[in-house]
Amino acid sequence: IFHLVVDLDALNKIEINSRHPVILGLRNILKTACLNDITTITIPALLVHEMAEVMTVSWCNRRA
């Protein structure tokens, strides 16, 4: 089981690029899964307690 815990402020940034901590965390999870022959990973999308103003449809689509 992999857990990736992220500060909400880190996700509220407009730009998420390849060096963003969330992307780096996901990359490390995928690397570890590959090295240990794990073939199935389930990632819950938009797992937050409440929606914020910045979470518009276009915001969600950019992160999908």
pLDDT tens readout for residues 7-49: 777 666 667 788 888 889 889 999 999 999 998 888 776 666 6
Distance CA 54, CA 14 (A): 9
For residue 53, is it within any domain? Answer: yes
Helices vs. strands in the chain: H and E counts, helices first = 3, 0
For residue 12, is it within any domain? Answer: yes
For residue 3, is it within any domain? Answer: no
* pLDDT of the residue at 10: 66
For residue 49, is it within any domain? Answer: yes
Number of domain units in the chain: 1
For residue 2, is it within any domain? Answer: no
Task: Tell me which residue range forms the domain holding 51.
Answer: 8-62
